[in-house]
Structure 1
Amino acid sequence: MDENIRFTHRHLVERCKHGDRKSQKELFELYVDAMYNIALRMMDSKEEAEDMVQEGFTDAFRYLPSFKYESSFGAWLKRIVINKCINQLKTKKIKWVSYAEIPGHYAEKEEEMVDLVDIAKVVKGISMLPNGYRQIFSLYLIEGYDHDEISEILGISTSTSKSQYHRAKKSLMKIIKQI
């Protein structure tokens, strides 16, 4: 990130820490679209995604005095929004299946599964995945978390994260073929 942008964001965060509503609005406008896209990839509906973003910003502004710049504000906010989504999805009782419970191991490589597909089909297919699959697929492939991080975030084993990701990929490929 450009040094001037980093300074501007830090300055906004500091003004927000002192209750400046205009700065809160500016910070919100800077990050709302990115946070909405993250939440939308994880949740069942636009409305749920909007709720998670709203709750994420509410928590971020509430706990802003504890923000110590150990990461960027955007990374900190992203973690809050993702945790909000995860907690909401946990209330829906997502069933996790351990990697050990799946017969056989998967020899397919990612490259073997990728064909050129219409991006609209991929986006629609992701939205049609079951919550658990969509959640891990989004965290891993789209948000860039590794399976160890996902297992820590979700409170599941690394092998479960890997198996759910693999199942999500297989399901997505089937969905795309049917669209």
Structure 2
Amino acid sequence: MTLQIYRAKEKDWIEGCKRQNREAQHALYTFFSGKMYTLCCRYIKDKMEAEDVLVMAFTKIFERIDQYKNEGSFEGWIRRVMVNESLSYLRKSKNMYLEMDIAAADHEPDYSKAENELEAEDLLKMIGDLPTGYRVVFNLYAIDGYSHQEIADQLGISENTSKSQLSRARALLQKRLVEAERQLSQKIN
């Protein structure tokens, strides 16, 4: 689909959704749901829960589509709703900061070429396996591009807690990458 066709369709979807047209809502959902489900899964480990969050977020999008003012990327606006809904779900479901691996934070990472030998899918799985607090902060900072201040505001934590969670997430990822590289080299030899 060319950019011009996409923008025309996007405009039609937005206008249709503002009129609560079910076909427009279905088209919008169909177009964005796969990508947004993947985004939700980065924050929420359980696939069924991630799907629930996806549906709740799309419901909010359809209810509040009048709040989109055609400023900036429409997909960016949808992504923000998805991230906010995922974070809201995590806050309601449990305290995401109880899962801490202090030993991982104290571990001095061995910077090797492990990350170059692994597939992106392996790295995404490792990120998904991080404790909830680490995973959320890592995703917000490293993948979605939020600042520590924005993360702190979103999660109701201090900026230093955000920095600490990111540091611990990176250390734990590095430890797991080194271990994966070691296992990979043993299989080859």
Give the TM-score normalised by the residue count of structure 1.
0.83
1:79 aligns with 2:108: no
Q: Displaced runs of 4+ in structure 1, greater than 4 A? A: none
| Aligned partner of residue 116 in structure 1, secondary structure | helix
1:34-45 to 2 correspondence within 5 Å?
A: 34-45=35-46
Match of 2:140 in 1: 139
Deviation at 1:55, TM superposition (A): 0.6
1:90 aligns with 2:85: no
Match of 1:161 in 2: 162
Match of 2:186 in 1: none
> Which 5+ residue runs of structure 1 have no aligned equivalent?
98-106
1:42-53 to 2 correspondence within 5 Å?
A: 42-53=43-54
Deviation by residue 1:40-90 (Cα, 9 ceiling, x = unmatched): 011121111111111100111011123222332211111111111111111
Q: What amino acid is aligned across from residue 16 of structure 1 in structure 2? A: C
Aligned length: 170
Taking the aligned partners of 1:148 and 1:117, their CA distance within structure 2 comes to 34
Percent identity of paired positions between Structure 1 and Structure 2? 34
Give the TM-score normalised by the residue count of structure 2.
0.79
Match of 1:19 in 2: 20
Q: What amino acid is aligned across from residue 151 of structure 1 in structure 2? A: A
Task: Compare CA radii of gyration and give the structure with the larger one.
Answer: 2
Deviation by residue 1:114-147 (Cα, 9 ceiling, x = unmatched): 6413123312211210000001111111112222
Aligned-residue RMSD, C-alpha:
2.7
Q: Structure 1 residues 47 and 113 mapped into 2: Cα distance closer, same or farther (>3 Å)? A: farther
